[in-house]
A and B are shown apart, each in its own frame.
Chain A
Amino acid sequence: MPIDMNEVTFKVFRFDPEKDKKPHWQRYRVALRPGLSVLEGLLDILDHQDGSLAFRFSCRGAVCGICAMYIAGTPRLACRTQVAELKREEITIAPLPGLPIIKDLVVDMKPFFAKYEQIRPYFLADAVPGEKESLQTPQQRRALAEYIDCFLCGLCHAACPVAATDRRYLGPAALVKAYRFIADSRDGHTDARLALALGEDGLWRCHTIFNCVEVCPRGVDPTHAIQEMKRLAVWRRLAGKTRP
């Protein structure tokens, strides 16, 4: 991209199920300014060019994980993607694949969160007995830190070729959360949690492709968590702690 360029084109995926039979691409010219993020570019379009454009955002600072979309061929957060860093004259922006499209860049995250619920992302009933706090050492807390950081933006799920081809696959985000509780010294339901993460559409579908690691905006390593669970599942079966 030449340095003197002062405009870029946003090629945006448009689809309104109430009006359109099929989706189309719409191009918008966006004025460049220092520090312009893709999200700010979209807001410029919304404010000055086309009020009908739909997309989700909230915090604008990569804290909430809501503006996940497909930008220039890669799943990214719109707020965290600098237009200048893409070094392109035309930037394609599309909704996350594999999820039902509600309108334009807005997808229905229900299937994603249904998978999240499948692994029961909360402490199980008897995990925290009594009225006393369950104390953790700093070291025990550190074991969770990486997995607590996940804010469920869905980028890993969108980047995963297995999730793209198998709609029922739990996917990296849900599996990371399953491991978050296994790694938690206060939970103590390892076998029950492994049972939820195993099965036809669980752990063993992961083929260590590492796409999830590539796109995670929080530095979480889902593949590592999944592999730890695979290893744990095998050892516990071999030790006779679980039944087939």
Chain B
Amino acid sequence: MRRRELWLGRRLGAWAWLLHRLAGIVLALYLVVHIMTISTARFEDGAAFDRIMRTFNNPVVKLLEILLIAAVIFHMANGFRVILLDFVLGIHHQKALLWAVMGVGAVILVAVAVTLLPLALASGAR
């Protein structure tokens, strides 16, 4: 008999690792859907693609896009941290490093949201 337990312990390093994996899975799944969607451009002289794009042109999808970009940014920022750690850089400051890359990520995300949100709000009106 063994006890099974995955200790996350609310420690930053563990959460960064777990979220990194989850974001990675989300992005991989998105990629499949994305490739399927753009592949429709081959059919009906692009009319199928236009139809799908029109369905996607609504606030919910636009908001989901912002979430998708949040996942991309998290995966990218933490990925940069992991690369630094692989070069044994900042290994004793991994938490500070996480906050630093998350800070940069947050700035990028705000810039993206400021750009996309008006589009999201306008898309429903059309």
Contacts and interface: CB of A to CB of B under 8 A. Distances in A.
Contacts of A231: 86-88
Contacts of A97: 2-5, 7
Interface hub of B7, B8, B14 (most chain A Cβ within 10 A): B7
B94 interface: yes
B11 A211 contact: yes
Given A224-B88, A224-B92, A214 B3 contact: no
A165 B17 CA distance: 14
B2 A164 contact: no
Contacts of B7: 73-75, 97, 158-161, 164, 211
Contact of A164 (B6, B11, B13, B88): B6
Interface string B1-30: 111111111011110010000000000000
B91 interface: yes
Contacts of A15: 1
B87 A208 contact: no
Interface range on chain B (Cβ under 8 Å from partner):
20 to 34
Interface string A2-34: 000000000001010100000100000000000
A100 B87 CA distance: 36
B69 interface: no
Interface in A215-229: 215, 221, 223-224, 227-228
Chain A interface mostly: mixed
A17 B1 contact: yes
A178 to B, nearest CB: 16
Interface hub of A70, A94, A211, A224 (most chain B Cβ within 10 A): A211
Contact of B1 (A100, A161, A223): A100
15 contacts: A15-B1, A23-B1, A70-B3, A94-B3, A97-B4, A101-B1, A101-B2, A158-B5, A209-B13, A210-B12, A210-B94, A211-B11, A214-B11, A221-B92, A227-B88
Interface of B: 1-9, 11-14, 17, 82, 85-88, 91-92, 94
